[in-house]
A and B are shown apart, each in its own frame.
Chain A
Amino acid sequence: MIATATGPHHLQLTREGQLRHFLTLDGLGRELLTDILDTADSFIEVGERTIKKVPLLRGRTVVNLFFESSTRTRSTFELAAKRLSADVLNLDISTSATSKGESLADTLYNLEAMASDMFVVRHAQSGAPHFIAESVTPKVAIINAGDGRHAHPTQAMLDMLTIRQHKKTFAGLKVAIVGDVLHSRVARSQIRALNELGVAEVRVIAPGTLLPRDVEALGCTVEYDMMRGMKDLDVVIMLRLQKERMEGALLPSEGEFYRLYGLDRAKLALAKPDCIVMHPGPINRGVEIESAVADGPQSVILNQVTNGIAIRMAVMSMAMGGQLAERQQALNDIAKQEVRS
């Protein structure tokens, strides 16, 4: 008997190293991340067919559990599940059972009893998807669709897919992440993925008030002056200014922020001429980014959306496959023991 790997990073892998949940990019090596990107490439092709559907998750039930509202992420997860032929249930938890006093665990047990195979979870609390995978419904594949300030791994992977499409390789790339890193779960996942995939430099550009303490420890350099920070960039990733999360006086004003950290044509001209512009959306035009840049020739923002479906199809099918393979393995183990005894 092989010792079962433990710890937060191994919770999401089977004994054979296949994905069975997708909670965080921590602990996932370059090979697995590359497999995810390669698999997503194949799903992009599926999205270009007359019939944009494959039968992988036929007969499986996927529940979108959004404890926090989202339009793009929820709809791309829904479309991804449907293109994998799964049955999809969308639950907006904030308006359902929990408001009647049912606990999170009870809600989940009920959904599990409806023979759900996968939960796609978005939650304001960091670690909620991890908690569900570990303690509540471990037989259901859990996909993290964003938890608190912790992680948003599918968003980071769709960004990696977009970068790879345009730059072919990660080696030697200089990538900047600009804006509200403090409140951004996307930025954390992006920094992790970029380092694992081997870019030359990850640079965060932001005012000190919008950076977490010890941000360098995540694996990046820090630049407070955007004019300096734009130099030599191959990729610039703008973050949304999370107005709804802003408490206290972290910023002087939106106008001031735009002048210093908004991406306009003048600042973009300081990067490499083929520098691509990315943004996870929804964009605040004239707050983080000038319209002419968001809609300009260097922008790949809408590619990111298309790639989001493919990445989610890849992660969902890989995690579901891992769960099913593990169940089969367990059955085989039992069968072997019965033969022996």
Chain B
Amino acid sequence: MNGQLDIEPLLDKMEAGLRQLLQERGVSSPALIGIRTGGVWLAAELARRLQLQEPFGELDISFYRDDFSRIGLNPKVKPSSLPFDTADRDVVLIDDVIMSGRTIRAAMNEIFDYGRPASIILATLIDLGARELPVQPDVRGLALRLETSQRIKLRGPDPLRIELEQA
């Protein structure tokens, strides 16, 4: 399978899932944080859909990766930018694809260095399984199992689209 996957229904599902979860938990003003690069595009989209006034945060997890001792520092690291204090906030952490769970582990460690959040909800567009850590998304657009020869990539930011590639 080569080509594109329609992203709109997936975004609708994420939006609906988030609305429901935030309501259940009684969270009226969540703090959105996207993980670079895809997660930041999604955070912008979800902030718009949820009509949040507050700017969303951008996280670059390069300084928290657990493979530093294997491959060294990512030379293209950019500053993280959280325009709010995470202490006592209900955070929605957003990424495009979840697999091993290692990125999310790193992201949560980084968030805690900005302050102790009241809670974190994890929202991912696509869940590819193959987890190596006990980290599960609370909200997801789609669960998918890829053949070993397949690759999936979120392109954006305008328009946001999902590309499936045959390697």
Contacts and interface: CB of A to CB of B under 8 A. Distances in A.
Given A42-B60, A46-B63, A317 B79 contact: no
A321 B72 CA distance: 4
B77 A318 contact: no
A310 B26 CA distance: 41
A55 B72 contact: no
Given A42-B60, A324-B69, A53 B113 contact: yes
B36 to A, nearest CB: 11
B115 A324 contact: no
Contacts of A54: 63-64, 113
A54 to B, nearest CB: 4
Interface residues of A, number: 24
B2 to A, nearest CB: 31
A6 B79 CA distance: 34
Interface string A178-193: 0000000000000000
B70 interface: yes
Given A46-B63, A321-B68, A56 B113 contact: no
B81 interface: yes
Contacts of A291: none
B71 A41 contact: no
Interface in A42-60: 42, 44-46, 49-51, 53-56
Interface string B97-125: 00000000000010011110000000000
The DSSP consensus for interface residues of chain A is helix
Given A55-B109, A56-B68, A317 B114 contact: no
Interface in A7-56: 18, 35, 38-39, 41-42, 44-46, 49-51, 53-56
Contacts of A320: 72
B70 A325 contact: yes
Contact of B114 (A35, A50, A55): A50
B75 interface: yes
A218 B113 CA distance: 44
Interface of A: 18, 35, 38-39, 41-42, 44-46, 49-51, 53-56, 317-318, 320-322, 324-325, 328
Given A50-B115, A56-B63, 5 more contacts: A38-B76, A39-B73, A45-B79, A322-B72, A324-B68
Among all A-B residue pairs, the 5 with the closest Cβ atoms:
A321-B72, A45-B79, A54-B63, A325-B72, A321-B73
